[in-house]
Every structure is written in C-alpha cells, then in structure tokens.
Amino acid sequence: MLKLKKRIIPLVLIIILSMTIPIQAAPLKVNDISDLMRLIQEDYFFDVSQQELLEGAMRGIFYPLDPYSNYFSNEEYDTFSERNAGSFAGIGVSLSEFEGALVIDTVMAGGPAEKAGIKAEDRILSVDGKTIEEYGIVELVRFLKGQPQTRVKVEVKRAGIEQTFSFEMTREMIQIHPVTYKVLENDIGYIKIDEFIEKVSDDVDKAVEVLIKAKVKGVILDVRNNPGGILDEAVNVADIFLPKNTPVVYIEYKNKSQEVLFSRKEPWKIPLVVLVDKGSASASEILAAAIQESKVGTIVGTTTFGKGTVQMVDELTSGGGLKLTIARYLTPKKNWIHGKGVTPDIVIENPKKSSIPDFAPMDEERDYTEGQKGLNVYGAQQRLIYLQYKDVKATGIMDDGTVMALKALQAANNVKEKHGVLDIETRDTLNNRVIELHKQILEDLQLKTAIEALHN
C-alpha cells in the first residue's frame, strides 16, 4: 500500500503541472526586458504594476554577480542608510542566531525592550504573531523594526521557565553606540567595536585617550563578530595606532589602477592586541591586517572571514539604491585575503556556545516544605545538582539533602527567608544562579590570551 501511494503522487503532480495552454506555433519575439515586461502586463492573469516588474528586473540583473552586490528597494535602502548613520527605529536589542533560534544578547538601557521587561538570553518565538518556522530568522529581525511610535508584540521563552512571555511595546529611534570601552583587571584597556559606521574612529580615538589618561598598560581592540562597514572608518582607526605615512590598504580597480591610503598623523604609542574571529570581515580585516603587517600590535583569535572586495553604494533617482563591487583591497604587503582571511599571530578558539540543560519546569506558584513532592521540587533538585550542591538527588521529594542545599543557596544569595523552603523567591534565585554559572562556564579564552599577550 505504501509503495502504491508513492507511485500515485508523482502522477498527480504531473497532471497538475501540465495544465497549460499548448505552445504557440511561432516563438515569441522578446528583444529586451521592456518587451518582456510589456508581455507580462498584457497577458499575465494577476495584477502586477510596472514598478513591481521593474524592481524584480533590477534584482534579477544582480543575480549572476557576487554576493556583495545587490539592489535595495526604498525600504531596504532607508534601513541601510539609517544603520550606517548610527540610528534605526526598533525595540533596542542586539541579537544573534543560536541553534536555529533568535537570541537576545543585550538589552539597551532605557530602550523599549528594557522598559517592557525583556531580558538578555530570552529567545524570541514570534513578532506580532509571526514565527521563525513561518518566516525565518532574517524576516523576524526585519519585523522587529518599523516606524517610530508604532506598536509591536514580542513573544519570548526564558531559560529555566516553561511558560512563555509576551511583551507589547512602542518602537523608538535607537541610537547605535558601536564603541564601548573599560579598564580590565591589571590595568588593561579594552575597546569593543561592533561595526564601522560613521564617526566610529572619533569614538575610538576618545576611548584611547581616556584609557591612556587612566594609565593602562596596554589596549585590546575587539573586532570579533564585526562584519565591517565604512572603509574610511577602518582606515581612520588604523591611523590612531600606525606610524605616520604607513600604508594602511591598497585599493585596486578593474583597470588595474591602484590607490593607496596612508596613515596621516602621529599615533598613540601603547602596546596593542587585536581580537578577531570568523565573524570579523571586510573593514575589520583591513584594520587587523594593517596592524599585523606594520608590527604595531599582536592579532589573537581565529582566522577571519576573508572578504577582500570593496563596494560602492549609490542612491537611485527612481527610488532605492544599489551596492556594487568596484574594487578589491590589498593589505600593506599587497596580500589579497579574499577567501583566506587574516591568520592571527596567536590562534586560539573559544569554547563552543552550548545551551543550558533542559531542566524540568518550575511553574507552580506555591511553596514546598520538607516531605512534600512536586514538579517544582524535581526541577529545583536538577538545578541544585548543576550548581554542584552536595547530597542532592533528583527525586521530586523535599528530603533533608534538598532542604540543606536550599538553605545554603538562600544564605549565599541574600534570600529574605533562609528556612530551606522552596518558595517563589528561592525558585527565581535558583534560575538566575544557573544562568550566571552557564555564562561563567563559557570563559572567554581569547580575551584571556590577549591580556596575557600584553603582559609578556
């Protein structure tokens, strides 16, 4: 019976797909795209505008080109321009893809997401009812954006809690701050550059000045997962560290003519390490290669992405825009890293990201005392074992070992009542401690190695 069904289905499909009008005797004469567009508008059964056909044709023209050349619709071009300018309308979160899910990495202070109660590590399940399964991650990210003062509903899953949470908020103009800095232990300066948008080099220059005034012993530039951006900004950041009149990058055009961009000012003289990984691309690679080949700093991490081409972005008078690869770039030693990437001086990988174990839910809004049994108790015992509390077994019963472990947890975390009862506050504290421990397990070995490199 199963084999028979397998044979019938293709026959049905063939019948459906072959319901077409017989081919005309004379072939159609189509000399160019305008002929094809006219034919479609005259004979195509459904409604389609000339603008829609034109946009489709524009996208089609870019199809055989490299992945970095593409056409922008009006909306796409506006989003692209806003991003480079450092602002966009949204809810104020940074996101990453992990195990097929859309995970919130950081929640921007004062933004709509923070005000609503969304937290880092939350997984986005849907946006205005639209799910990842239906639309995919890229579309879901796009749905989070929109016009300022418009409403959006986001459903999330929180680690360690079975139920989902829905938050409704109003989109606002979010200012992007791609440069952050701080002083690490042992007086090491740390600067993170998320992407090379407008005026990033000014922010990096100010950060270096502040850190040097704080008498740091060296600076770590972190461009991990930095996809690139504006070439001039990468050159300007390199200018902060490279000796004056040092080549930063060569630009080679189709006619083989070359343009070389030099550093133009006296640098900050300070020990330097640059952190890179597979997500460091384009402008990030220009910076890393310039510092490496000029021997003004040490590169630490894993081999970079390997994008060695330059794109020009133009706005179209008809609306939208286009991005076209017009050149390739070469490092100061005239190496083309396209498809190869920049190999660090010190190669080291970070532990692979892993998810928190799939514990039993603790959704019951009630307290559990010694001798009682329940799913909350079983989930609490699993978490206590993960936190390495002794004499705890996952039985679902509040035994002596569980009570003693809960008392120790309550004392260590300043829980109001330290009586060994599994109450709501203790449950939430237990969940938070699991998340904190999970973050600690994923130690940043690359950053640790960068700090050690500055001490040597």
Query: What distance in Å separates the CA atoms of residue 86 and residue 51, rounded to the nearest whole number?
Result: 30
Are the C-beta atoms of residues 346 and 277 closer than 8 Å to each other? no
| Catalytic positions | 282, 293, 307
Are the C-beta atoms of residues 218 and 271 closer than 8 Å to each other? yes
Alpha carbon 426 to its chain's center: 33
Query: What distance in Å separates the CA atoms of residue 260 and residue 332, rounded to the nearest whole number?
Result: 9
Nearest Cα neighbor of 454 from 279, 275, 332 is: 275
Alpha-carbon distances, residue 262 vs 237, 240, 266, 294 (angstroms): 12, 12, 12, 12
Q: What Rg, from alpha-carbon coordinates, does the chain have?
A: 28
Nearest Cα neighbor of 438 from 359, 353, 379 is: 353
Query: What distance in Å separates the CA atoms of residue 50 and residue 53, rounded to the nearest whole number?
Result: 5
